[in-house]
Chain A
Amino acid sequence: MFKRQLLKISPVLIGIALAGCASKQSWVPELEEAQKTYAQISQDPIVASLAGEELQAAQQQLQRAESAAAAFRKPQSVAHEARLATLQTLTAQQRARSLTANHSLQVSLGQDSFLSEQEIAAATMIEAPLDANPIMAAAHSGDSIQAQLASLSQQLASLQAQLAATQQPAQTVVVPAPVPAVQQPVPAIQQPVTQTVAQAIPQATSQAAPQQLTRATTALAAEPVQETTIAAAPQQATDQQLLQPEPLQLTPQRQIEPVLSAGAQIAQQQPVYQVAPTAQQAEPAIGAAMAAPATTSVQALPGQQQIQHQLLAMNAKPNTRGMSLMLGERYFESGTAGLMNQRAARHLDNVAAVLRQNPVLTLDIEGHTDNQAAPENSQDLSVNRAITIKSALVLRGIDANRIDTRGFGHTRPIADNDSPLGRLQNRRVELVFPVAQSEG
């Protein structure tokens, strides 16, 4: 009788025991916390790229904790392993934070970053299209430290000029009489990049209002180096600047010089206006805007230099063959020529945009690999990757005849193939734009 009852009860007891064991795993709050922490932090691309090793160690530790829980080890043991996993995950996060801050610090100080461009690129993926603001995009994309520095310098110069223009006390320009030179057309300034100059001057001359002309020049001087910004400025803005009855403000010469310094000599040879002593600094700028025969810095802008600026905004680098834009391996599926569309789309859209805007521009696409695979495989992979990029550009409406593809396998390394980082750098596709280097 007793035996029968025991037999009936035993499955229930076994069931309760099993349920207890199974639920024991979820009763370790430290493990749950570790899993949550890891899941949250590992999704951060900055941590994943900059503190990959630490994150991997944390993952292994978390796996140990989960294994301990699955093996029904003591809760204290599981909790210990889980605590270690949490600490390692947090360490990875802090490590990435530290690297990011140190990188920013070094860039701010004008020093070379200790991070590789691949690490920076992986950590600073942005989704916004580059076309919206190439300068800002260049600053944030992180593909090139030099490009970042260049664009930041441009922004700084622009902001300084604007600040100087707003802080400068109102100064009156003494204009004795209308000058015939003003009424002459200004044929030299008709290039697209200096459209603002070309638009501003005829309006001022037609109204025979030299002061307004001065104001227009001053407005231009406030945007010294950013030719692309000037080109993008709508004409309405210039019109408003011309019509506003604000007191005249002159920007000191050192801020005007970057834009119109080449016209200074001509201005001195043919002084059009007599400027009050306090405002004499601005004379070269006025002269340049007025007389403005073709000057090297202004004239060279529209063609080659404009393309160069567009390419620089995409973090292309000048070299002996022209401007070279590097696509790292992260744009491809590992070991194949398959394109990671989401990652590459931003770059390819912008490359296509530049090619569309400049119909004469051609492109050489060169594939490269590291030396880990057999030479014939490397060669095939490099060619296929170059063709993949070409296909992506053709799909974006670029004439295939404008694009040449080549694969070099592992024959042209740019870094040491003995280190993982070097091999990573060597696995690349270069987009070479045969753009002549301008002297400016």
Chain B
Amino acid sequence: MKKHYSIAAIAAAAMLLSACATTISGGSNTQYAENAIRDAKIAGAETYAIAEYTTANASLARAKQLFLHNRPDRAQKLLQLSIAQADLAKAISEAEHAEMTLSQLQNN
């Protein structure tokens, strides 16, 4: 009987640890997405890539909600999308900014 209890305790501990690991992974990805969105904002995404920037923010917000509603799989996918959209917004912003500066330089 005691043996069964110990096995159950080990299993419970393992499940708890795995749950924590999932949470940490989700939190890490959330943090990663937030960083990507911040980088995009710094690059001027609010000006140059507003659509991509808005979508990235919306995906992140929705992912956070899904984490709260215990739907981590869907949330993870949305985080991936959010990161990709933020990266795209950043790249567009950098390209637009550089081209605009170049254009101004050439016109002057």
Chain B binds chain A: yes
List A residues at the B interface (Cβ < 8 Å): 80, 83-84, 87-88, 90-91, 94-95, 97-98, 101-102, 104-105, 108-109
Q: Are A108 and B102 in contact (CB under 8 A)?
A: yes
State the interface size on chain B (CB cutoff 8 A): 17
Do the beta carbons of A109 and B105 come within 8 Å of each other? yes
CA distance A94 to B106 in the complex (A): 21
Residues of A contacting B66 in the complex (Cβ-Cβ under 8 angstroms)? none
Please measure, in the bound complex, the distance between the C-alpha atom of A80 and the C-alpha atom of B101, giving whole angstroms. 36
Known: A94-B92, A94-B95, A101-B95. Is A87-B87 also a contact (CB below 8 A)? yes
Whether A90 lies near B88 (C-beta < 8 A) is yes
Whether A84 pairs with B84 at a CB distance below 8 angstroms is yes
Q: 30 A-B residue contacts at CB 8 Å? A: A80-B77, A80-B80, A83-B81, A83-B84, A84-B81, A84-B84, A87-B84, A87-B85, A87-B87, A88-B84, A88-B87, A91-B87, A91-B88, A94-B88, A94-B94, A94-B95, A95-B94, A97-B91, A97-B99, A98-B94, A98-B95, A98-B98, A101-B95, A102-B94, A104-B102, A105-B98, A105-B101, A105-B105, A108-B102, A108-B105
Residues of B within 8 A of A109 (CB): 105
Q: In the assembled complex, which residues on chain B have CB atoms less than 8 Å from the CB atom of A101?
A: 95, 98-99, 101-102
- Residues of B close to A102: CB separation below 8 A: 94, 98
* Cβ contacts under 8 Å, A88 to chain B: 84, 87
* B95 and A97 within 8 A (CB): yes
Closest CB in chain A relative to B55 CB, distance in Å: 10
Contact with A along B24-64 (1 / 0, CB 8 A): 00000000000000000000000000000000000000000
Contact A84 B105 (CB under 8 A): no
Secondary structure of the A side of the interface? Answer: helix
Which residue of chain A lies nearest to B106 when distances are taken between CB atoms in the complex? A108
Cβ distance B32 to chain A, nearest Cβ, rounded Å = 14
CA distance A276 to B105 in the complex (A): 39
CA distance A102 to B106 in the complex (A): 13
Closest CB pairs A-B (n = 4): A101-B98, A94-B91, A98-B95, A87-B84
Q: A83 — which chain B residues lie within 8 A by C-beta?
A: 81, 84
- The answer on a CB contact under 8 Å between B91 and A95 is yes
> Could you say which of B80, B91, B98 contacts A91, with CB atoms under 8 Å apart?
B91
Contact A80 B88 (CB under 8 A): no
Contacts of A80 in B (CB 8 A): 77, 80-81
Chain A residue contacts of B99, Cβ below 8 A: 97, 101
Given A94-B88, A101-B102, A105-B102: 8 more A-B contacts, CB < 8 Å: A84-B81, A87-B84, A87-B87, A90-B88, A97-B91, A98-B94, A101-B99, A105-B98
Which B residues are in CB contact (< 8 Å) with A90?
88, 91
Cα distance A261–B8 in the bound complex, in angstroms: 97
Determine the chain A residues whose CB is within 8 A of the CB of B95 once the complex forms: 94-95, 97-98, 101
What is the CA–CA distance of A429 and B11 in the complex, to the nearest angstrom? 65
Residue in chain A with minimal CB distance to B103: A101
Closest to A101 in B: B98
Closest Cβ of chain B to A13, distance in Å, is 32
| A109 closest partner in B (C-beta) | B105
Tell me, rounded to whole Å, the shortest Cβ–Cβ distance linking A74 to chain B.
11
Q: Given A98-B91, A98-B95, A98-B98, is A91 in contact with B84 using a C-beta cutoff of 8 Å?
A: yes
In the bound complex, how far is the Cα of B88 from the Cα of A87, in angstroms? 7
- Residues of A near B84 (CB, < 8 A) are 83-84, 87-88, 91
Quick one: given A105-B105, A108-B102, A108-B106, are A87 and B94 in contact (CB under 8 Å)? no
A80 and chain B: residue at smallest CB distance = B77
B43 to chain A, nearest CB (A): 9
Most chain-B Cβ atoms within 10 A of its Cβ — which of A90, A94, A95, A104? A94
**CB neighbors of A among B72-108 (8 A):** 77, 80-81, 84-85, 87-88, 91-92, 94-95, 98-99, 101-102, 105-106
Alpha-carbon distance between A347 and B95 when the two chains are bound, in angstroms: 32
Chain A contacts for B87, CB-based, 8 A = 87-88, 91
CA distance A174 to B98 in the complex (A): 52
How far apart are the CA atoms of A300 and B106 in the complex, in Å?
35
Q: Compute how far the CA of A94 lies from the CA of B84 in the bound complex, rounded to whole angstroms.
A: 13
Give the shortest distance, in Å, between A93 (CB) and chain B (any CB).
8
Chain B: CB-nearest residue to A96: B95
For B77, give the chain A residue with the smallest CB separation.
Answer: A80
Chain A's nearest CB lies how many Å from the CB of B60?
Answer: 14
B45 CB, min distance to chain A CBs, angstroms: 11
Q: A84 to chain B: which residues have CB within 8 Å?
A: 80-81, 84
- Chain B residues with CB under 8 Å of A87's CB are 81, 84-85, 87-88
